[in-house]
A and B are shown apart, each in its own frame.
Chain A
Amino acid sequence: MERVPVLSLGDALLVSIQVDLQDNTVLALQEDLAERIVSTGARGVLIDISAVDIVDSFIGRMFASIAALSRLLDAETVVVGMRPAVAITLVELGLSLDGVRTALDVERGMKILRALSDRRGLPVADELDDDLVPVAEGGGPAAGA
C-alpha cells in the first residue's frame, strides 16, 4: 500500500495526492494527518487534489472527516484544485462536502489559511494605538479594560 506524504509548510501541512487512492491509503492518510497536526502544532491543512481524477463517496467522506477532526485539533482544512468533472460528479452523487473549505489552487488555499490565522492570532503591535490594551483569553482586547 502506498502512503501519501505529508509535508510541513510553515504552520500548515500540505498533502498533495498524486496516486490512485485505495481505501486503505485514504484511512492511513487520515491517521497520519491527525498525528502530524498534534506533533507539529499546525494550524492549517491543505489537501491538493488537482491530480485526482475521481472522488467517490469514500474519498469524499475522507475530506469531511479530515476537516472535522482537524477542527477538533484547532486546525483548518482547505481542499484545493478540484477538477470540474470531479466537482460535477460529486454534486450528481449528492455529496456537497459540508464543512469543507475549498480553493482553486494551492496559492489561494494558503491565502485562506493565512487570513484565518491572522484573524485568530494575537494582534500585531503596530496595528494598535500607542496605548496598548491588555490581551485576554481568545485573542481580543479584554472587555471592560
Chain B
Amino acid sequence: MAQADGGRVQALLRSEDKVLRRWVEAAETPLRGRLTTGELERTCSDLLAVLGEAVAGGGLDVTSAAYAGARGFLAELSRDWARRGFSPSETASAVFALKDALFAAADEDGEGGESGGDLATVLESSRWVDALGLVTFESFARAREQVISEQAEQLLELTTPVVKLWEGVVAVPLIGTLDSARTQIVMEKLLQTLVDTGSEHAIIDITGVPAVDTEVAQHLLKTVVAARLMGAECTISGIRPQIAQTIVMLGIEFGDITTKSTLADALLHAMRGTGVEVVRRRTGSR
C-alpha cells in the first residue's frame, strides 16, 4: 500500500460526473430511500471533491496529513447520519458503494485507457475505499465511547451523593459494588466536602455494599486516616457480617477506627462529638 501513489485511482476520479452518478446509484440501495437523491448526490459530490484533493496531496494513505479534511468530512458524515438513525454499517455501505463506481470506471477504461483496468487498479482502489469506510466506522465507535464515558461519570455523580446530616456532620451512603476507582473518587469528594462545609465529622455508610475486596477496604481505611490528618473524624457504619468476615480474614487492621452498626448510631455518635446531646421527652408528664 505504501508504494501506491494513487495515480490509477486519481485517473479514475478524473471522470468525475460518471463516477458520481454510479456512486449515487449504488449507494441509494442500502439507504432505502431514507435520504433524497438530491441530498445524497450533494453529499457524494462534496465528498468526491474533498477526496480528489486528498489523493492529489497524499496519495492513497488515508492517515496522511493531506487527508485531514477528508477524515473530518467522513467523521462529520458519520455523526450526522448516526443522529438521523442510520446504523454504522449503513453509513459505511454508502461509502463502500464508491467501489462499484470505481470498478465500472476501471472496466470502461480497460480498453487501452491510462488506468489499465487491470487487477492492480481494482485492488488498489478497493483497499482505498475500505480504508475510507473504516474511518466512518471508527468515528462512530469513538462518538459512542464518549457518550458511554460521559454517562458513566454522570452515574458516579448520581450514585454517590455527599449529604449533610447535621451541622458539622456529612455522610456518604455507598450503594452497590465498589471498585477501587469508584471508591477513590468518592473518598476524594467526601474529604473535599469536609473542607467546603467546615465539617469535623464524616460518616461512610456501607449498608448498601454487598462485598469489599482488599483494595477497597484499604481505600476506606486510608480515607479515615486522611480525614484525621485534616482534623476531622470519620466513622464507618453499616458493615455487613460478610464484609466484617472479609476484613478479618484478609487481616486488614482497622485499628482504632470508629465503626457503628447503623447510620443512625453513627449520626448519634457524631452529634455527641459536636457537643449535642439528644434526649427523649418524658411522655405524660403534663
Contacts and interface: CB of A to CB of B under 8 A. Distances in A.
Asked if A and B form a direct contact in the complex, defined as CB atoms under 8 angstroms apart, the reply is: yes
Given A80-B231, A96-B225, 20 more contacts: A83-B195, A84-B192, A84-B194, A84-B226, A87-B191, A87-B227, A87-B229, A88-B187, A88-B222, A90-B226, A91-B222, A91-B226, A91-B229, A102-B229, A102-B230, A102-B231, A104-B195, A104-B230, A104-B231, A105-B231
A97 interface: yes
Nearest to B228: A102
A61 interface: no
Chain B interface extent, by class? 10 to 19
Those 7 A-B pairs whose CB atoms lie nearest each other, nearest first: A84-B191, A103-B231, A87-B226, A102-B231, A87-B229, A104-B231, A91-B222
A92 interface: yes
Nearest to A92: B222
24 contacts: A80-B231, A82-B229, A83-B230, A84-B191, A84-B192, A84-B194, A87-B191, A87-B226, A87-B227, A88-B188, A88-B191, A88-B226, A90-B226, A91-B222, A91-B225, A97-B229, A102-B228, A102-B231, A103-B231, A104-B194, A104-B231, A104-B232, A105-B198, A108-B200
A123 to B, nearest CB: 21
B230 A82 contact: yes
Contacts of B195: 83-84, 104
A87 B200 contact: no
Interface in A75-131: 79-80, 82-85, 87-88, 90-92, 96-97, 102-105, 108-109
Chain A interface extent, by class? 10 to 19
Interface string B212-231: 00000000001001111111
Contacts, number: 53
B272 to A, nearest CB: 16
Interface in B193-216: 194-195, 198-200
A80 B231 CA distance: 7
Interface in B153-209: 187-188, 191-192, 194-195, 198-200
Contacts of A103: 231
A77 B20 CA distance: 81
Q: Chain B CB within 10 Å — which of A87, A102, A104 has the most?
A: A87
A108 B231 contact: yes
A108 B231 CA distance: 9
